[in-house]
Amino acid sequence: MVKVMSIIIMIAVPPNRIYNNCMMNKTNKKKSPNRIKCQITGIERLSNKTYLANKGEKNGVTGNVWASFYVSKPAYKELVEYVSDFGFKSACEKYEIDNERLKKWLRYNGRGGFVKIAKKAEKEIAENVALAA
């Protein structure tokens, strides 16, 4: 009796329908070009073209350039805390980046408070170099 029921079920669903359902699960989905990836944690999130363009324009760069320096909010808060506690040089060593990248992370993702600190740090470095010479 069990075999008869399974045959009836197979007859009720046409074979091409079964094939199409299997193919539907394996569609050629492309990743959205509007995904932005946190440079510190590596976590990705979806965005849209308008958001990226506006962020880029606000910072005087293209949306793609801004996205290449994107840092998520929790990672940014942790970065700001670390920089304010230990300084720029120590933060560059911890995250294994150069000074310019750190400034761009802070400038592009924050509200500009650290831009002043970055300029102050540059001034201190220049003074230290001048004193050492």
Helix (H) or strand (E) holding 106: helix 99-109
The whole domain housing 49 covers 35-132
Residue 52: inside a domain: yes
**Higher local confidence (pLDDT), 75 or 28:** 75
In a domain, 60, yes or no: yes
Residue 20, domain member (yes or no): no
Stated pTM of the model: 0.64
Upper half-sphere CA count for residue 106 (Cβ side, 13 Å): 26
Per the domain annotation, does 97 fall within a domain?
A: yes
Question: Is 89 among the domain residues?
Answer: yes
In a domain, 12, yes or no: no
Buried b / exposed e along 80-96 (16+ C-beta atoms within 10 A): beebeeeebeebbeebe
Strands, E assignment, 59-131: none
Tell me the per-residue pLDDT of 81-96, one tens digit each, with 9 for 90 and over.
Answer: 898 888 888 999 999 9
User: Can you read off the two tokens belonging to residue 47?
Assistant: 């965005």
Q: Is residue 109 part of a domain?
A: yes
Domains held by the chain: number = 1
Phi, psi at 131, each rounded to 5°: -70, -35
Share of the chain above pLDDT 70, in %: 70
- What is the reported pLDDT for 130? 79
